Amino acid sequence: MVHDLFRDPQAVETLIQKIVNAAPTEGPTHTFMEVCGTHTHSIAAAGLRKLLPNSVRLISGPGCPVCVTPVDYLDRAIALAHQSQTLVMTFGDLMRVPSSTVSLEQARAEGANVEIVYSPRDALAKARSNTNLRVVFLAVGFETTAPTSAAALAEAEAENISNFMILPGNKIMPPPMRALVEDPELKVNGFILPGHVSVIAGSDTFQFLADEYGVSGVVVGFTPADVLQGVLHLVEGSSSGVGKITNLYQRVVTPGGNPAAQAILDRFFEPADCSWRGFGVIPRSGLALRSEWQHCDATLLPADLPEPVEPTGCRCGDVLRGVIDPPECPLFGAACTPDSPVGACMVSSEGTCAAWHRHGLWRDKNNPPTGASLPGGSRP
């Protein structure tokens, strides 16, 4: 089967050898960034970084939607959950992300009305059967999940369900990638482009990287061989100095993406300036409800909000920008662990810090993590 082929150890070994042969032995390191949480965990789980030559470095970017969600969004969600006759419903990943005060999980323990759902339609069903409640769904995610929020709004409108709202927190990937290539602290030679996002948006949505910045990108799947094919393509193309966007995930991704998903997004949402953890406000990087759907927008509800405060000492924002690896954060593996997370990157199943910690390849039995860079640049 095709899927088995992409997991074949022999195929992986062959690709690694091709990368070693193609990679330069002298000169600067080639740095490639992935911007998808699933890629983050696939790379760490397979130990791919340790197999690559020293001249090829893989770093993680803002590929986890929960991680890039700013603290003031959580503040608003918690404030709404404390209001009478209001029920906040969310994906489970968001429950333990710290706000300026407590997490949604802690707020629920203190009496706030918060429930976990698996889809926006679960929240819609709750609103349908509880007309006395105002049900607010926390719409967090990238292009991949945003259409499901739009579909739930369309269903609510068709059935005249007036007590269903969303708190818009969806984001789109091209604007932060533009910010990354313009960041003077970060020198990225190419991108492993997000596979799931590309299914919806299409591979052509990233063409600006090559046209405007001369930076290459490759759309790949999520198996070890998928990722390594992408790395090989980037290494081989880096010597040309010409940017190119290539789709190596053609079994799933098309140049134009999913027109039905794009149409329903366009019906309900429009681009808006949006805050990202680690980046600040990025122009036109979020999805705001259009004016005709403002009656569904929980952002417009009155709420008493604290001054936004990030967790002390947490460098999640720098991890999301790719300027440090997780062990360079002073809290990583000590004060901040999956059992007791301080930052969002350790909470989410797609977070970079969670990936590094879960797969344990940063550990040295005699030298537990202290936040300093690992000797020799070792990385999972």
Please give the radius of gyration of the chain, using alpha carbons only, rounded to the nearest integer.
21
Would you state the structure tokens that stand for residue 339, as one six-digit string?
């059992």
Q: What is the pLDDT of residue 376?
A: 32
Average of per-residue pLDDT values in the chain: 92
Q: What is the mean pLDDT of residues 8-19?
A: 92
Q: How far apart are CA 55 and CA 23, in angstroms?
A: 7
User: How sure is the predictor about 25, in pLDDT bands with cuts at 50, 70 and 90?
Assistant: confident
Taking each helix axis as running N to C, give the angle between helix 259-268 and helix 146-159, from 0 to 180 degrees, rounded to the nearest 10: 60
pLDDT given at position 371: 41
pLDDT computed for residue 93 by the predictor: 92
Distance CA 369, CA 51 (A): 22
Locate all alpha helices (DSSP H) within 174-250, ordered by sequence. Answer: 174-181, 195-201, 207-213, 224-238
Least confident of 46-55, 102-111, 114-123: 46-55
> Please, which pLDDT band fits residue 154 given cuts at 50, 70 and 90?
very high
* Average pLDDT value for residue range 138-147: 97
Note the pTM of the prediction, 2 decimals.
Answer: 0.91
Q: How many residues does the chain have?
A: 380
Which residues make Cβ contacts (< 8 Å) with residue 57, sequence separation at least 6? 29, 30, 31, 32, 49, 377
- Residue appearing with tokens 């003077």: 184
- Strands 269-276, 280-289: pairing kind: antiparallel
Provide the 10 A C-beta neighbour count for residue 260.
11
Residue that wins the pLDDT comparison between 379 and 25: 25
Q: How far apart are CA 44 and CA 28, in angstroms?
A: 23
Query: Could you give the CA distance from residue 159 to residue 320 in angstroms, rounded to a whole number?
Result: 40
> What local confidence, expressed as pLDDT, does residue 362 receive?
54
pLDDT recorded at residue 28:
75
Domains for the chain: give ranges and CATH numbers.
2-65+174-247 (3.40.50.11750), 68-172+257-300 (3.40.50.11740)
CB atoms within 10 A of CB 122: 14
